[in-house]
Amino acid sequence: MMRHTIEVNGIKCYAHHGCLLEEEAIGGHYLVDVHLITNFSSAAAEDDLSKTIDYVLVNKIVVQEMATPSKLIEHVGQRIVNRIKSEVKALEKLRVKVVKLTPPINGDVANVAIIIEE
């Protein structure tokens, strides 16, 4: 059986996640990468969107889940994984990476990230 990869990378979101009150109030910039393993042989042969994973749906799920504030990006990442698994057909494997840009920690840190693979 063929295995194919679809990636939706660098989904930019401005969201209000964090344990600090100012993070929740002010918000910050995030990037989300979604890596999906599927079989899109039929879609490739027939040029048929209904036989593959729709990037628009993946983006919509990420944007909607990122819009709901959470204390932890781990929690947001798991919500994204859960939604994609429930709404996307023919999914074999999934990897979601949530990157928090310039986190408010004591240090010069470009970003922090979590990765969930299922």
Q: Could you give the residue numbers annotated as active site?
A: 100
**Residue type (1 letter), 64:** Q
Closest CA to 32 of 12, 50, 16: 12
Task: Write the burial class of residue 89 (CB in 10 Å: 0-12 exposed, 13-18 middle, 19+ buried).
Answer: exposed
